[in-house]
Amino acid sequence: MTASTPADDATTGRPVVPAIEAILGREYPVLDHGFIRVVDYMGDDAAVVQAARVSYGARTRRVREDRGLIRYLMRHRHTTPFEMCSIKFHVKLPIFVARQWIRHRTASVNEYSARYSVLDREFYVPAPEDLAEQSRSNAQGRDEHVPAGVAGEVRRLLEEDARHAYDRYEWLLNEKPDGTPVDPARPGLAREIARINLPLSTYTQWYWKVNLHNLLHFLQLRADPHAQTEIRVYAEAMLGIVQRWVPQVAEAFEDYRLGAAELSGPMLKVVRAWLAGEPVDREASGLGLREWRELHALLGRELPPA
């Protein structure tokens, strides 16, 4: 393994990854005010291999190289060895992105609390190219981009509403950024109440610690082209960090997860029939119309006439 080496100054006995050490604490900008940075990590490619060989036995090393073993584990979904590595991120993100993100319940999270602290006057406003119409075929997706004039008006309304909400928030708190009251003659409202009218575009922050297996599951879903743009850009930034941290795992992940597709049993039967040169009727295949279309799109085949 060449991805990591023991620390030269002997201040630690654990493996370190120079490519990650070089970016610890560095902020990677995401969206208009967000960021992601690595706070700490544990393990490397070799840690995955080491964990696998505990169960595979000492002879494994003689018949498989480390890269080959990692690819075998990824290909056959032997996930436990990947749980031996973990990483902790500091993330700044809009609240509506955080609400999507928190659906991944396999990490340790500690979020900035607006009950104890005052939130910054920062809001996410989509770039014009990210504003699109509601998809007509996907209830949770986007369709064509809106015209430039409409995009400008949408951005103006979003910014105006966010500023107005924050002005009210500040008035309710009766607190300036430096902590002094706006009006010494009146009391400020409790922070846990004053926050309730802030929009979902308001930025929050958290520490997010996760093992490598669950991080890869997150990336498989959120780095996918069909994921919402605003969470996908965070996932893409994290994928770049994973490539620095565990390059052999990242390579296998991209080959067997991100760049791969899963076929159902009926789908596989259809593919085998096609390879044998046999005609296949959708009704007889057992596939629903959507799955039938997905299979053709996946393989780049034209749909037969209806």
CA–CA separation, 154 vs 157, rounded Å?
5
CA–CA separation, 232 vs 238, rounded Å?
10
Extract the tokens encoding 295.
């299979």
pTM, two decimals, is 0.88
Q: Is residue 1 predicted with pLDDT exceeding 90? A: no
> pLDDT band for position 14 (50/70/90)?
confident
184 part of a folded domain: no
Name the helix (H) or strand (E) containing 205.
strand 203-211
Q: Are 144 and 129 a contacting pair, CB within 8 Å?
A: no
270 part of a folded domain: yes
Domain hosting 286: range is 265-299
Q: pLDDT of 252-285, one tens digit each?
A: 999 999 989 999 999 999 999 999 999 999 988 9
CA–CA separation, 227 vs 231, rounded Å?
7
Identify the DSSP state of 297: H
CB atoms within 10 A of CB 260: 12
Extract the tokens encoding 89.
């991120």
Q: pLDDT of 93-151, one tens digit each?
A: 999 999 999 999 999 999 999 998 999 999 999 999 998 887 676 666 666 778 888 99
26 part of a folded domain: no
- Range in 41-50, 52-61, 183-192, 196-205 the model is least confident about: 52-61
pLDDT of residue 17: 95
pLDDT of residue 147: 85
Average pLDDT score over residue span 39-63: 79
213 part of a folded domain: no
287 part of a folded domain: yes
> pLDDT band for position 63 (50/70/90)?
very low
Q: Are 38 and 208 a contacting pair, CB within 8 Å?
A: no
- Range in 48-57, 63-72, 85-94, 132-141 the model is least confident about: 132-141
Half-sphere CA count of 70, side-chain side, radius 13 A: 25
pLDDT of residue 295: 94
279 part of a folded domain: yes
pLDDT of residue 120: 92
pLDDT of residue 110: 96
Q: What are the catalytic residues? A: 222
What is the tally of structural domains in the chain? 1
